[in-house]
């Protein structure tokens, strides 16, 4: 059925969701979409913001949660939006301020927070933001809306912040003539009043002299007071140990706190509150420390680039001994950034040591490498390879990771022999889901987001239970994008836009993820020069066939021997098609990819449980490892 001609879809109040997310593959030309009252969960899908013809959207009375993506600027025709009675949270996205046709907005009974300033200039006639966690002041423009509901929030009381300071008009233009009636006002002494006298009266001169004397006296008073306060503060510092420099353990605790909290700055912890009626402090340049006077007055610890690293420091001698002097017998593989060796330590531990190529770090300082290690040491997720330690001495730079005995996904798919059991369909789906969760963590949990830039099957390591662990996360910052693209240009994983611009983004990671899913589906390499020319590029060969059921069966990895559910295969292919779209803006975010894979798993598990009603069938299938329930 062709859904391209569908312009209105109303499925409201049918309880269709059952706790599942909203489908991401919606008809592309919808003008009205009503999915209210369906118990849908998860995030508002990115695909909804790509319905450029949408005029009416109602997702109210569901179980949606999470924050809204900042991608609403494409909804240039929308007039009504209802997101009420969900559990949505976070600040309203900045792209809301581009909704120039929006007249009705219902956000009540959610957990939104922050200000609502992004709504100030919209042509709203009906606005309900009640029962959220909004803060700040209600913009004056919104107070003029007839149908306005704002109860149940934490609005600031008292007068709103003053408007921006008055900027004098250019010469030749009149200022506000009714601003002052005083002939001595500076605003009227520049001739802009048209009929004012250009001279200064004797009384005006006397007033100026008196003002100068008063200002001079005040300035002298503050200079004397400043010197007195500075002296007393120095005496106080000698007796008060709370202002002494922090010892190493205190510094470590303070720095760890800065890592674990969001990247916001609590200015009250850096500066004592300014006394009332005093002029504001002078501006401090962003890249400049406090001046000498500030250091005499404030207990400030100088900022350094060093942050605590939760990883063991190894010496070159330690790692040479553990790897038998980096012998070829211990070589596990070689990648973009260097060779990886198996390391056996005296305590029985077996780890993997990555020896960074000296050419990559030729223009880097040791401090840059330590900063890189610090950043990588903070990446923690069950599907990310854990950094255990590092070494930086004698010009050598090495990283020590946990070791996974089953090697890489690339090895299992392309280098397996007849004695190695092929990966079952369930295992392939599990690997795809775990890898997707690793990328989701890097893209949407880490702040700032981490672009992997080198996502491929050789960087997906498998543990004893064949769970995936993504390696090399954070390492790509060692190499400029253009150089990285040149190193890996023929791999088959690179997104089309990277080849043109040489720049990697979150969307290019998603494309690479789709290529890995194609590897899992077909068992083929992303680029294989040994195949016919039309089949050398996996994406170009496979993409036109992903929605053809008959062709899809022919594409599947022969090692699976037909042991896969047809519906699961089709849904898997649908996700691939979304990820490898040539236009990056149409690729879904990783959170939606994860949701789609979870739905695939849930449906497969449900189907198997329904089939298990037949005792004989259940017994036969229980012995087949490809019929067991997925775990995720």
Neighbour-count burial for 571-607, b at 16+ CB within 10 Å, e otherwise = bbbebbbbbbbeebeebbbbbbbbbbbbbbbeebeee
Nearest to 491 by CA among 469, 466, 472, 516: 516
Query: Which residues are CB-contacts of 182 (< 8 A; sequence separation ≥ 6)?
Result: 188
| Count of alpha carbons within 13 angstroms of residue 64, beta-carbon side | 28
What is the C-alpha to C-alpha distance for residues 475 and 373, in angstroms, rounded to an integer? 9
pLDDT band at 253 (very low <50, low <70, confident <90, very high): very low
Confidence (pLDDT) at 208: 52
pLDDT band at 456 (very low <50, low <70, confident <90, very high): very high
Confidence (pLDDT) at 290: 32
Of 16-30, 39-53, 547-561, the poorest mean pLDDT is in: 16-30
Q: Which amino acids are annotated as binding site, given as ranges?
A: 355
Residue given tokens 């690729």 in the structure block: 587
Residue 61 pLDDT more than 90? yes
- Per-state percent for the chain, helix, strand, coil, to nearest 5: 40, 15, 50
State the angle between helix axes of 590-611 and 506-522 in degrees (0 to 180), rounded to the nearest 10: 30
Confidence (pLDDT) at 492: 87
Nearest to 492 by CA among 522, 525, 535, 517: 525
Q: Which amino acids are annotated as binding site for ATP, given as ranges?
A: 355
The average pLDDT across 303-313 equals: 66
Longest dimension (CA), the chain: 113
pLDDT band at 296 (very low <50, low <70, confident <90, very high): very low
**3-state class of 18 per DSSP?**
coil
Of 64-78, 485-499, 600-614, the poorest mean pLDDT is in: 600-614
What is the C-alpha to C-alpha distance for residues 113 and 409, in angstroms, rounded to an integer? 42
Query: Cα torsion at 182, 187, 188, 189 (round to 10°)?
Result: 110
The average pLDDT across 144-158 equals: 88
The average pLDDT across 603-629 equals: 53
pLDDT band at 353 (very low <50, low <70, confident <90, very high): very high
Of 77-81, 127-131, 236-240, the poorest mean pLDDT is in: 236-240
Token pair in block for residue 200: 């200064």
Confidence (pLDDT) at 487: 63
What is the C-alpha to C-alpha distance for residues 16 and 63, in angstroms, rounded to an integer? 12
Of 302-306, 405-409, 565-569, the poorest mean pLDDT is in: 302-306
DSSP class of residue 144 equals: T
Residues 387-397: tens digit of each pLDDT: 999 999 888 89
Q: Are 14 and 36 in contact (CB under 8 A)?
A: no
Token pair in block for residue 489: 């240009």
Confidence (pLDDT) at 310: 80
Q: What is the mean pLDDT of the chain?
A: 77
Say how many C-beta atoms besides its own lie within 10 A of residue 428's C-beta.
Answer: 25
DSSP symbols for 561-615: TT-S-HHHHHHHHHHHHHHT-SSGGGSPPHHHHHHHHHHHHHHHHHHHHHHTTSH
Domains observed in the chain: 8-155 (3.80.10.10), 302-403 (3.30.200.20), 409-607 (1.10.510.10)
Of 354-368, 393-407, 559-573, 610-624, the poorest mean pLDDT is in: 610-624
The average pLDDT across 189-218 equals: 46
Confidence (pLDDT) at 285: 39
Beta bridge partners of 154: 135
pTM above 0.85?
A: no
Residue 262 pLDDT more than 80? no
Residue 104 CA to its chain's centroid (Å):
30
**φ and ψ at 487, to 5 degrees?**
-70, -30
pLDDT band at 160 (very low <50, low <70, confident <90, very high): low
Token pair in block for residue 439: 């990328």
Confidence (pLDDT) at 297: 35
**φ and ψ at 348, to 5 degrees?**
95, -10
Query: Which residues are CB-contacts of 108 (< 8 A; sequence separation ≥ 6)?
Result: 84, 85, 128, 129, 130, 131, 132, 149
Confidence (pLDDT) at 130: 93
Confidence (pLDDT) at 110: 94
Q: How many residues does the chain have?
A: 632
What is the C-alpha to C-alpha distance for residues 19 and 34, in angstroms, rounded to an integer? 17
Residue 457 pLDDT more than 70? yes
Residue 481 pLDDT more than 50? yes
Residue 1 pLDDT more than 50? yes
The average pLDDT across 310-327 equals: 93
The average pLDDT across 353-370 equals: 80
Residues 205-238: tens digit of each pLDDT: 445 555 555 455 555 554 444 444 444 444 433 3
Beta bridge partners of 80: 56, 104
Residue 122 pLDDT more than 90? yes
The span from the first CA to the last CA of the chain, in angstroms, equals 33
Query: Which residues are CB-contacts of 88 (< 8 A; sequence separation ≥ 6)?
Result: 44, 64, 65, 66, 67, 68, 107, 110, 111, 112
**Angle, alpha carbons 351-510-607 (nearest 5°):** 90
Confidence (pLDDT) at 454: 92
Confidence (pLDDT) at 301: 33
Q: In what order do the strands lie in the sheet with 350-356?
A: 312-313, 387-393, 396-402, 350-356, 338-344, 331-334
């Amino acid at each position: 059925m062709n859904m391209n001609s569908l312009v209105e879809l109303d499925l409201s109040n049918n309880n269709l969701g059952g706790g599942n997310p909203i489908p991401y593959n919606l008809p592309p030309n919808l003008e009205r979409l009503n999915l209210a009252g369906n118990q849908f969960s998860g995030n508002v899908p990115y695909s909804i913001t790509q319905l450029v013809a949408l005029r009416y959207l109602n997702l109210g009375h569901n179980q949606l949660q999470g924050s809204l993506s900042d991608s609403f600027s494409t909804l240039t025709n929308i007039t009504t939006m209802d997101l009420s009675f969900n559990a949505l949270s976070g600040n309203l996205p900045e792209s809301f301020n581009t909704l120039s046709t929006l007249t009705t907005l219902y956000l009540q009974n959610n957990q939104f927070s922050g200000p609502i300033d992004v709504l100030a200039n919209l042509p709203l006639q009906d606005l309900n933001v009640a029962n959220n966690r909004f803060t700040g002041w209600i913009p004056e423009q919104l107070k003029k809306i007839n149908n306005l509901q704002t109860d149940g929030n934490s609005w600031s009381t008292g007068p709103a912040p003053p408007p921006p300071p008055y900027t004098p008009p250019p010469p030749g233009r009149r200022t506000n003539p009714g601003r002052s009636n005083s002939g001595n006002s500076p605003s009227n002494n520049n001739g802009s009043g048209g009929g004012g006298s250009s001279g200064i009266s004797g009384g005006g001169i006397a007033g100026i002299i008196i003002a100068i004397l008063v200002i001079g006296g005040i300035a002298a008073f503050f200079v004397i007071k400043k010197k007195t306060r500075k002296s007393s503060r120095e005496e106080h510092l000698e007796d008060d140990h709370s202002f002494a420099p922090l010892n190493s353990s205190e510094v470590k605790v303070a720095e760890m706190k800065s890592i674990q909290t969001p990247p916001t700055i609590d200015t009250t912890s850096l500066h004592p509150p300014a006394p009332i009626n005093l002029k504001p402090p002078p501006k401090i340049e962003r890249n400049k420390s406090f001046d000498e006077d500030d250091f005499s007055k404030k207990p400030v610890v100088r900022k350094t680039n060093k942050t605590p690293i939760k990883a063991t420091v190894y010496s070159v001698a330690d790692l040479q001994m553990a790897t038998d002097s980096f012998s070829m017998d211990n070589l596990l593989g070689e990648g973009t950034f260097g060779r990886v060796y198996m390391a056996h330590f005296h305590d029985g531990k077996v780890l993997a040591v990555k020896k960074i190529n000296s050419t990559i770090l030729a223009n880097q300082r040791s401090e840059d490498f330590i900063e890189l290690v610090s950043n990588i040491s903070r990446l923690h997720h069950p599907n990310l390879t854990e950094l255990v330690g590092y070494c930086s001495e004698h010009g050598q730079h090495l990283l020590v990771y946990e070791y996974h005995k089953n090697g890489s996904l690339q090895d299992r798919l392309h280098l397996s022999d007849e004695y190695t059991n092929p990966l079952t369909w369930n295992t392939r789906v599990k690997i795809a889901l775990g890898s997707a969760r690793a990328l989701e963590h890097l893209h949407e949990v880490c702040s700032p987001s981490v672009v992997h830039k080198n996502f491929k099957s050789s960087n997906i390591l498998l543990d004893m239970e064949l769970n995936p662990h993504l390696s090399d996360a954070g390492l790509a910052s060692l190499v400029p994008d253009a150089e990285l693209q040149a190193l890996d240009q023929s791999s088959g994983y690179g997104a089309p836009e990277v080849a043109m611009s040489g720049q990697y983004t979150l969307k290019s990671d998603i494309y690479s993820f789709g290529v890995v899913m194609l590897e899992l589906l077909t068992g083929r390499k992303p680029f294989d020069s040994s195949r016919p020319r039309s089949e050398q590029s996996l994406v170009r060969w496979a993409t036109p066939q992903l929605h053809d059921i008959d062709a899809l069966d022919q594409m599947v990895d022969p090692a699976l021997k037909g042991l896969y559910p047809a519906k699961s295969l089709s849904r898997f292919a649908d996700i691939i098609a979304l990820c490898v779209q040539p236009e990056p803006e149409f690729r879904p975010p990783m959170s939606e990819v994860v949701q789609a894979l979870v739905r695939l798993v849930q449906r497969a598990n449900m189907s198997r449980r329904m089939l298990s009603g037949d005792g004989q069938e259940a017994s036969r299938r229980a012995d087949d490892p490809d019929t067991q329930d997925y775990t995720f």
